[in-house]
Structure 1
């Protein structure tokens, strides 16, 4: 979500201001069992389904990029939605998928795509419980439908990005702009290898299967939630890491202080960002998980993630609300602005308009 109400037919999410003015006030009937209703920067809704039991729900587009190949495209579509659900701390259990496919898709292509969804569901214990599959005129890639994922658990076992507290450490995994870098490489491989060289290309190409936060989120749940360790989780999608940090502070009603030099930016990601003229700190980063952690447990959790193969850093701390949302850059404190238009879409348009391959 971004800062202004202006829409201007820009690709990507509507702005935070537009969402809060026109969408959020009109969310249907009010029901007492909805304990986490829609809110900007919060990945899941939560419903009480029985005394002491809750259900976390999230919805996302079902996004398919055929240029990736059907396996990679479907893998990523599954992990986009599963990553959101798992930020609740609850395991993914049920999936509903609506496929509004273009008429050009062949039966065997649907099979290849669905085989991968089935494989990922089995891997994580997810049952597909309902859905809709059809071809329609006027539909096109990548947004070929939508999906809803559900997980259940005890009421004291879920978290949201609104639960961070002043003093909590802010942990960030992997690198900023991991999705922007990996997807640009997958879509324009020849151009990137030519401009950056084979070494960088191979590193960037290998990032594809890092565009998920499912395993890290599930590891966080095992480590302990709320007072036991992790107080909130949020994945850095559109608006990038800085946008996600703003959303955590905004959703929880807290301030935040981040040290820019501690934000993880892998060298090859920096170079591909420069090549396409995008700000890596403001570019889409599915696969980067932001967590707030009880401060005396933060170092132990960083070590635990490393033992599981995931690099992470402590990049700052949550503050009282009146501190504001700040980033320290070269000794100066600057405001962290709300997420706006994501540079990733500009980069995609640049590549497509120049017919890069």
Structure 2
């Protein structure tokens, strides 16, 4: 069986058909594509998300915090606290555990977020360090930005680069092999992509400018994120392939391993939709905060999800975007 999170079809069949939301105070329950759940407590909504970090041990404390907080940011909410569960192989040293927690705390401090609990153990159940992070945020019940909030005609924007996180992970996990095809400076540049795995700024900007949907680009990459926004919103999309930003070092690594950068995990990249009249303000905000961005497509009334080759002024070739099936990262790490 393929590694990685379940396909949308399997997730629906094996999990979501059984998990049911029956309480009125649950504002957002389990569903395909939604980054967060939310529960109402009077005039306040508690926003929650949980994620594991399994692909790498490099900077795993920092990565866990950023990935958890990214989901909260994608809902337009304020991040408040984190719970961390750390499962370590039996041979993991005290120093390694201490270093992971120290990096997590430093990153949490940077975002004014508290680590308020969790669990830490050595166990034979894992052969590499695994962190599961639960992030907690707050919002008003009506202020949450959902993955499924897009409207037909909305522009689709993306920040930073496709395959961002996967590039950094592969630069670490496959360093020896990549040293034969990349310069040391290029390989270090690829490893440094893990520095850019936070989307808290983008989330705040998107909410301020009126984004209708936001989704951080995780497993399944850019195409997976676009598919999930469409599914959650009951719409389709047209993505312009030539406008999707791909960093040169990502192209080098993906070409070497024969994988698609658009299907490579990209925590640190944010996808959002916004009405055309609000797009200029969004772009100006990105520019003012020195955030790389690109307008990559449009939401459509028709439910077909299409990747478009060519530019708007020339003949276009379109192909359907398939449902996400795992991540290209695991094709290399298997």
Q: TM-score, normalised by structure 2?
A: 0.93
What are the within-5 Å matches in structure 2 for residues 193-232 of structure 1?
193-221=179-207, 223-224=208-209, 229-232=210-213
122, 130, 150: which one pairs with 2:136? Answer: 150
Assess, with a 3 A threshold, how the Cα gap between structure 1 residues 99 and 199 changes in structure 2: closer, same or farther: closer
Distance apart, 1:199 and its partner CA? 4.2
Match for residue 329 of structure 2 among 344, 349, 352: 344
Q: 2:79 aligns with which of 64, 69, 92?
A: 92
Do 2:205 and 2:282's aligned partners in 1 also have CA atoms closer than 8 Å? no
Alignment of 1:1-357 (within 5 A): 8=1, 10-27=2-19, 30-50=22-42, 52-63=43-54, 65-66=56-57, 68=58, 72-142=59-129, 144-221=130-207, 223-224=208-209, 229-320=210-301, 322-330=302-310, 331-349=316-334
Q: Is contact 1:162–1:251 with CA below 8 Å preserved after alignment?
A: yes
What SS is found at the alignment partner of 1:269?
helix
- Shift, 1:308, TM fit: 1.4
Distance 2:20 2:131 in 1: 23
Quick check: 2:243–2:294 contact (8 Å CA) kept in 1? Answer: yes
Aligned equivalents of 1:114, 1:323: Cα separation in 2 = 44
1:277: Cα distance to partner?
A: 0.8
Shift of 1:260: 1.1
Find the aligned partners of 1:43 and 1:49 in 2 and give their Cα distance.
Answer: 20
3-state SS of paired residue (2:34): coil
**CA shift for structure 1 position 182:** 1.4
**In the aligned structure 2, how far is the partner of 1:294 from the partner of 1:207?**
30
Q: Is the 8 A contact 2:27 2:141 kept in 1?
A: no
Distance 1:22 1:296 in 2: 41
CA–CA distance in 2 between the matches of 1:47 and 1:281?
33
Q: Deviations over 1:209-237 (max 9, x none)?
A: 0122223223333x24xxxx211110111
Which residue of structure 1 lines up, in the alignment, with residue 313 of structure 2? none
Residue 64 of structure 1 contacts residue 74 of structure 1 at CA under 8 Å; is this kept in 2? no
Aligned-residue Cα RMSD (Å) equals: 1.8
SS at match of 2:287: helix
1:281 & 1:145 partners in 2: Cα distance? 25
* Residue segments in structure 2 that go unaligned for 5+ positions in a row: 311-315
| Distance apart, 1:294 and its partner CA | 1.9
CA distance in 2, matches of 1:177, 1:29: 34
